[in-house]
Amino acid sequence: MSRLLVFALQLLIVTVAVLVGAEIAGRVQLIPRALLNLPAVDFSAADTREVVRIFVIACGLAFLANRLISGWDVFDEPRRTAKEIYALVVGVVAAALWLFFLTGINFSPELLLDASVIALLLHLAAFVALGVARRRGARIGGFFAHLLGLLSKPAVWAILLFATSPIVVAYTFTQSRDFANWVTNLRLSANLDDDTPYVIVNALGATTFETPIMAQFADGDPSTLYVLERNGRLYRVDYPSGANKTLLLDLRDGVGYVEMENGALGFDLHPEFGREGSPSAGFVYVYYTEYRADSQTNRLNRYDISLSDEPARTASALPLIAQRRDNDGYHNGGSVEFGPGGFLYLAVGEASMEECHNRIDCALVGGILRIDVDRRGGSVSRPIARQPRNGETANYFIPLDNPYAGNRQALGEFWAHGLRNPFRIAFDPANGNLWAGEVGSTVWEEVDRIERGGNYQFPFIEGRQAQQGFAPPDPVMGTPRGPVLTYRHTAFLRSVIGGIVYRGSRIPEARGRYVFLDNYSGQVMTIPASGEAVEDFTIIARSRDVAQRGPTSFAVAPDGAILITVMGDNDNPTGIVGRLEPADSDAA
């Protein structure tokens, strides 16, 4: 067989190995789950073609380099074929690093291992087949003897050390926020145009925070901003100067360990906050996870921050909801918003409680809750009639116009359900429509318009795609609803943060549109706020900090500015309340 045909055969082997690996990666588990329990990774046809291209280029270059060093007769002798296997290792590892650092394709260790094993076996099969065809015999024993014998060479040990680099890189990515942030920005720079019309600048001058998670203004007070840190501290600061930063609450002892998706997640001020003579003038409502080594409880508490000192304010906690859950730290939701009529809306994730998926009679998870914190009674609301599984509720009423308020078998708090992890909800100030960012699993992210009694169909539908292994309940409670927007996961576009409907004039590109972002990419995006389903979004800005250091919420300032909290370093006060500014302005 000619040299060119042998080289073409090797590239064909690599192509077949990747295609078969992509096909079986979701079904064949070569990596033991006890060692690395990974979710299935979604690959589109375009992703698979790109992976094939990268593998063919990387392995082709490795094969050519080895020919220059070891000669062209690849399958003639056992020792030469053994050397080619080490060249294959170099090519596969180089392709893996290329995929990890420089593409937007979801990284799949299972596919890489599957493809590597298949390519090795096919190379061995080619060696045996050509040996038999040339009447030299199978020579398998000689091949393995030389494969092991080459371990005496320093170059082979260097190759094996290089082969561990994807493991080291992946581990460091999961353990170091700085490294993960650097990798994500490298991926973004390699794949996206950095030219956006707006940039994010510090809205409060030089004032910074430790992982700010959310910011809010009180009605009627345009000069004061309230900022919640993920660790559980709530501050008041002058807007826009950033002066007079004052600690109001310190919930760090209650929050405990902050990692993954835990911590203080959301808050809102009572509609009568600051109103002279109102008994609710000092009330703030905070949703946080109480995380301990052996338990986790998601809590909604009320605090009175009109009291004279911080210890008294923190001690004023009035519990409303305490929902216990497994302490894996994921899917807690995280928005507290007062809506039309003065009712409090709380977005809660499914909390990894699979037994309560798409149910309204189980626990306060996986939906949007609506409660009357003023306990008005009469024709407005009634006392709580049912307690959630593994939880306690108190100190609020159920609005009578909630969709399940009259169903004594249901938890009357539910306004909508069938959600996985709604992270940030907001009302359109023009019409009261409620919007949510719905964080998906491994394939789809959603933007939803939340309707009374809506069932958003998790887990049996994600995005607009039915999910294998999940049958809809019989009967389906509520009205089935689909998303306004879905977008497919990439390596850096994978965690939607719900935003705001912008009705101001300061940001013309956002006027009349729903503004949201993706935490992993830092991209700030917009879609029309009509509520009609759309297929694409417009990018107007991007945060430099992403993922666990990235953006987490929006607020609209009374002066029309769009504010974005950006967490920054977890251990240092480098987080900001950012403001969108034109990229060509003096403030940029």
DSSP per-residue codes, 468-483: TT-PPPSSPPSEE---
Question: CB within 8 A of 2, min separation 6: which ones?
Answer: none
CA distance 514 to 426: 10
Q: What is the domain class of 251-489 according to CATH?
A: mainly beta
Alpha helices in 134-176 (DSSP H): 140-149, 154-163, 165-175
Give the start-to-end residue ranges of the domains of the chain. 3-175, 251-489
Angular region, 52: left φ>0, alpha ψ -120 to 50, beta rest: alpha
CA distance 248 to 2: 78
Q: What is the pLDDT along the chain (588 residues), one digit of tens a residue?
A: 688 999 999 999 999 999 999 888 767 777 666 565 556 677 788 889 999 999 999 999 999 999 999 998 888 889 999 999 999 999 999 999 999 999 999 888 888 889 999 999 999 999 888 877 666 655 788 889 999 999 999 999 999 999 999 989 988 987 887 888 889 889 988 998 778 999 999 999 999 999 999 999 999 999 999 999 999 999 999 999 999 999 999 999 999 988 889 999 999 999 999 999 999 999 999 999 999 888 899 999 999 999 999 999 999 999 999 999 988 889 999 899 999 999 999 999 999 999 999 999 999 999 999 999 999 999 999 999 999 999 999 999 999 999 999 998 999 999 999 999 999 999 999 999 999 999 998 889 999 999 999 999 999 999 999 988 888 878 889 999 999 999 999 888 989 999 999 999 999 999 999 999 999 999 999 999 999 999 999 999 999 888 888 999 999 999 999 999 999 987 789 999 999 999 998 876
CA distance 253 to 400: 36
CA distance 534 to 528: 8
Q: What order of strands is seen across the sheet that includes strand 562-566?
A: 198-202, 576-582, 562-566, 551-556
Please give the pLDDT value at position 40.
66
Residue 166: name the closest of 116, 122, 121 by CA. Answer: 116
For residues 522 and 551, is the Cβ–Cβ distance under 8 A? yes
CA distance 323 to 456: 22
> Which residue's entry shows tokens 């894996």?
328
For residues 228 and 222, is the Cβ–Cβ distance under 8 A? no
Question: CB within 8 A of 310, min separation 6: which ones?
Answer: 247, 248, 249, 250
For residues 334 and 264, is the Cβ–Cβ distance under 8 A? no
Amino acid (one-letter) located at 48: T
Q: Which DSSP string do the residues of 11-41 spell out, in sequence order? A: HHHHHHHHHHHHHHTTT---S-TTT------
CA distance 157 to 252: 49
Structure tokens at 91: 């090519």
For residues 43 and 106, is the Cβ–Cβ distance under 8 A? yes
Please give the pLDDT value at position 251.
98
